[in-house]
Structure 1
Amino acid sequence: MKKILFVCLGNICRSPLAEAIFKKKLLEHGLNDQIMADSAGTANYHVGENPDPRTVEIAAKHNVPVNHKGQQFKKSHTDEYDYLLAMDQSNYGNMVAEMGEDSEKLMLMRDFDPYGKGEDVPDPWYGGMNGFENVYQILNRSLDDFIVFLKKKHDL
């Protein structure tokens, strides 16, 4: 089974939304028995907390169930997961610092975005619902391409 970890700063906005969208897509593609997903944050601000209510609201708007408690990214995740997807360059750097090295497992979420390859997934924390909708749309299309990547790379 392939294991995917989505990582942002606090693990209450972007990464739990990515995790939830991805899990729904896995079900739709019949891959939920071959791939599992989780999410974490590089900071410990929200360990044990539910996702931001705006994350839950935007997910519900798109019929995506969210079920997650915040956790902090740690070095051991490098061994536990096949792919670690950072939401932005800052968190990518924080992950490299925690891991002690860069890793081929570590990627940016938007490496898979056909409309913004390599760009950051913006942090919607200080914005309104439009920011959360924008993040949903970025993640939704990026995850489509990530699933294509996984299918090709692992013959799923």
Structure 2
Amino acid sequence: MPYRVCFVCTGNICRSPMAESVFRTRIEEAGLGGLVEVDSAGTDGWHEGDGADSRTVAVLEAGGYESSHAARQFQSSWFSRLDLVIALDSGHLKALRRLAPTAEDADKVRLLRSYDPAAGDDLDVPDPYYGHIDGFEECLEMVEAASPALLAAVQERVEGRAA
């Protein structure tokens, strides 16, 4: 059974699809494509079925990443099939932990920037939606900075399952 990771932001059109795309690329580069599944969702369903924000798409494509996406809302029932739920800010972290059916499920939720050793105490990836393209570029930088340690943690779990 694959190890399953889901990135979650508010509407699933900016931060979480960006994180999903970057991390899926890292998983493929590490040769873990068949062992790890990556997706994303939003805490709210406002944009359900919509593609990623055009600025997210532009920043991803400029960075050489895949950008196909359809927004969806995170469901509490998903916890049973997910191994790791990555929140993009502390508001998402709290909302997801409240949704978790069990304490074990709540423990699956982590902040993305907690995997970035340079992040310090500022663990939120700010929502770029109401700003300009530079906010989306900053978001991509934060996602990329957290990806190596997140990849290492997931790789360790996947190898632990195989042992």
**TM-score (normalised: structure 1):** 0.94
* C-alpha displacement of 1:117: 4.6
> After superposition, where does 1:1-150 map in structure 2 within 5 Å?
1-100=2-101, 102=103, 103-117=106-120, 119-150=123-154
* C-alpha displacement of 1:153: 3.3
Q: How far apart, in 2, do the equivalents of 1:132 and 1:4 lie?
A: 22
Q: How far apart, in 2, do the equivalents of 1:81 and 1:127 lie?
A: 32
RMSD: 1.4
Partner secondary structure for residue 51 of structure 1 = coil
Moved more, 56-65 or 98-107: 98-107
Aligned length: 156
Q: State the one-letter code of the partner of 1:148.
A: A
The one-character-per-residue Cα deviations of 1:77-116 (angstroms, maximum 9, x if unpaired) are 1111100000011011111222255522111111101221
Percent identical across equivalent pairs?
A: 31
Moved more, 43-52 or 111-120: 111-120
Q: State the one-letter code of the partner of 2:138.
A: N
Q: How far apart, in 2, do the equivalents of 1:124 and 1:82 lie?
A: 27
Q: State the one-letter code of the partner of 1:42.
A: T
The one-character-per-residue Cα deviations of 1:14-44 (angstroms, maximum 9, x if unpaired) are 0000000111111111111110101000011
Q: How far apart, in 2, do the equivalents of 1:38 and 1:92 lie?
A: 17
Q: For structure 2, which runs of at least 5 residues remain unmatched after alignment?
A: none
The one-character-per-residue Cα deviations of 1:33-65 (angstroms, maximum 9, x if unpaired) are 110101000011100000000000000000101
Q: State the one-letter code of the partner of 2:116.
A: D
* C-alpha displacement of 1:143: 1.2
Change (3 A) 1:113 1:131: same
Q: For structure 1, which runs of at least 5 residues remain unmatched after alignment?
A: none
Q: How far apart, in 2, do the equivalents of 1:97 and 1:71 lie?
A: 19
Moved more, 1-10 or 94-103: 94-103
* C-alpha displacement of 1:145: 1.0
